[in-house]
Structure 1
Amino acid sequence: MSIGAVPGTGPATGPLSVVRKATRKTFEDLPTDRTLVMGVLNVTDNSFSDGGENFDAGKAIDHGLRMHYAGADIIDIGGESTAPGTEEVSVADEQARILPVVEALVKAGVYVSVDTRHTETARAALEYGEVMINDVSGVNHEADMPQLIAETGARYIVMHNRGNSKTMDGLAEYDNLVSEVVAETQQVIDTFLAAGVKKEQLIVDPGLGFSKTAEHNWQLLKHLTEFEKLGYPVLIGASRKRFLGTLLAEHNTEAMEPRQRDHATAAITALVAQEGAWCVRVHSVVSNLDAVKTVAARQAAE
């Protein structure tokens, strides 16, 4: 099937212009001997990290395949920027952006994660096969999302967050950051378990940058073991985030641009892999895959 045949895309060019049907990868097929690498695929026109270069579905599919062939274990597809201050996208627009990409990548044998806050979009994506749902809503998830996850048996990422893109920065106030974030994450977990979701379906994410200051992010990274004590795989999404741009800024000038934060991202990947993180969500696949393989080799040495 050519990319051009996917609804909503134009003629395709380049070495990855043909998406061949392949054996569909499942969660059980993912590596277990190292931290996994999840490649970020933003099908948006206002992504903070890439400026919307994959907004066209054909380009998005090409980029997703390139990350897959570069070694990404999971491709996380999102149609709505959740950076602070961004406007929300309607469910209809979100689906028009991502569903052709989800369909093409699943058919190509890619293990897909769908970055969505909406039950309706998650349900539509699951029609294409086994996909993971990555929901950044946190404590404000849609009321019918737990039931969908219970009914379908889909893997679901519970990410800590308060509010939405317009309000979360104003909600970054904690008396005891780590214990409160862990407790609020457990609260969301309990809601899903009560709906019939099985423990093995869930993954947790501390939500770096979501209702967190830069200092909060560093504290959570330092206390990663507190999230591991919850008893679920832990996903870390630090890639290119603004707290890294602030860290790398020289002489108190403006923060480094997103693409200039990849070396710092790989450093964090190595650190959290050493701490036992299940997966890292990143924009640059190769450097972070190198990092997790290096850590795994060191840990395997006798």
Structure 2
Amino acid sequence: MTARLYIHPLTAVSGPQAVEGDAVRLAGGMVYAREFAVIVRRDGKTISREVVTPSGIDSALARLPDELGPEGERQWSGLRTAHPPMQLGSRTVRLDQPQVMGILNVTPDSFSDGGRFMDDPEEMRAHAAAMHEAGAAIIDIGGESTRPGAKAVWEGEEAQRVVPAIEHCVAMGAAVSIDTRRPAVMEAAVVAGAAIINDVSALRYDPRSLEFAAASGKPVVLMHASGNGEDLHAEPDYEAVAFDVFDFLKDARDRAVAGGIAQDRIVLDPGVGFGKSLADNLAVLNHLAMYHALGCPLLLGASRKRMIGALSNEVPAHRRTGGSLALAQLGMDAGVQLLRVHDVFETVQARNVWRGLRDAALTDFAGLVS
């Protein structure tokens, strides 16, 4: 089996000045990484692991097997790639700091809102406006539940659910993403004004999706899920889940690029909760920073997920705000650019406090030798 390489950022520092410049700005954001594990795996086992700082990375990459040298250079470059802003219609969304994506489900069986926003258009519009005013950079609109056991929806019905919500959100000045895996819904959503295609199947569910996404010119979100048919939560067969997710996202990125989607229009999502046990989710979350090596912005969708209930006496979805904020902060500490959440006001507030702390850390030279 071919050897595979993974470069995993291990530690963060307040800024490069704290360590005599021996740190790098992770993915062009507000997090500075100091130590990195350079990991080589073969046949499901780790055969080498070396921890280095940026000053030693060239030597570490030079010691890799010859066939891994180019991949090492690509991953090291990916970890340091500063992603340009996304131009989403009339709105510009910067990716040099965490941004909040608000969730708007217009389904009858959403695990978090129970269909309130499909049954009551006025409540849907009020909720969308509240998220927009609270600071959501993007509103992500979906017309099909993707929770385990949810029934598939006919694409015509899905389009009928999402188009009015998209048109309303665009009219109030919001940037909108469409959460769907069906090309006909993607097309209807883009015509209605959606600026991002967010596909939980990573453009695998329908062979026409990749062609449409490429032709549309819109940014796309490619998410990891263990299944690729009707059941996105199909029984997985992981060797080491954090690395398996990395390999999947790498292949999804490369497939999208080969299909005509520019890499700078690809966002990657590790798919928390999709075909993953509690232990799997925790492993993926603790390796978030590693996925920057793929050279694309990252999206984290962990809000109100089942794992929070599992870690907090099985509290229902509407009482998982604290856990959701903890995971959002974990994502920010890992340099994640997009946080997909239900609780927009609370997450934006947490992000603003986090950002203030990061800004202060970069300008605080107290305690450093002058």
**TM-score normalised by length of structure 2:** 0.71
Cα contact 2:91–2:175 (8 A) shared by 1: no
Show CA shifts across 1:55-103 (max 9, x none). 1333222211111011111100000100001101110110111101111
Equivalent residue for 1:30, pick from 70, 89, 93: 93
Superposition pairs for residues 142-221 of structure 1, below 5 Å?
142-163=206-227, 167-221=231-285
- Equivalent-residue separation in structure 2 for 1:67 and 1:28 (angstroms): 16
- Equivalent-residue separation in structure 2 for 1:120 and 1:139 (angstroms): 13
**1:139 Cα deviation (Å)?**
6.8
**1:169 Cα deviation (Å)?**
3.9
| Structure-2 residue corresponding to 1:12 | none
Cα contact 2:93–2:137 (8 A) shared by 1: yes
RMSD (Å), alpha carbons: 1.8
Superposition pairs for residues 25-174 of structure 1, below 5 Å?
26=89, 29-56=92-119, 57-138=121-202, 140-163=204-227, 167-174=231-238
Equivalent residue for 1:283, pick from 342, 345, 349: 342
Larger Rg computed on CA atoms: 2
Task: Tell me if 1:256 matches 2:315.
Answer: yes
Structure 1, unpaired ranges of 5+: 1-23, 250-254
Cα contact 2:197–2:221 (8 A) shared by 1: yes
The amino acid of 1:44's aligned partner reads T
Number of aligned residues: 274
- Equivalent-residue separation in structure 1 for 2:242 and 2:113 (angstroms): 31
- Equivalent-residue separation in structure 2 for 1:81 and 1:154 (angstroms): 23
**Structure 1 residues 25 and 181: alpha-carbon distance in aligned structure 2, compared to 1, 3 A threshold:** closer
- Equivalent-residue separation in structure 2 for 1:279 and 1:230 (angstroms): 16
Cα contact 1:38–1:72 (8 A) shared by 2: yes
**TM-score normalised by length of structure 1:** 0.86
| Structure-2 residue corresponding to 1:4 | none
Secondary structure of the residue aligned to 1:84 is: coil
| Structure-1 residue corresponding to 2:358 | 299
**Structure 1 residues 33 and 229: alpha-carbon distance in aligned structure 2, compared to 1, 3 A threshold:** closer
Secondary structure of the residue aligned to 1:127 is: helix
Cα contact 1:34–1:292 (8 A) shared by 2: no
Cα contact 1:43–1:97 (8 A) shared by 2: yes
Show CA shifts across 1:184-233 (max 9, x none). 11111111111111111100000001111111111111001221110100
- Equivalent-residue separation in structure 1 for 2:159 and 2:171 (angstroms): 18
Structure 2, unpaired ranges of 5+: 1-86, 364-370
**1:170 Cα deviation (Å)?**
4.1
Identical columns (%)? 35
- Equivalent-residue separation in structure 2 for 1:213 and 1:165 (angstroms): 19
- Equivalent-residue separation in structure 2 for 1:54 and 1:194 (angstroms): 38
Q: Which structure: greater strand fraction?
A: 2
Cα contact 1:25–1:109 (8 A) shared by 2: no
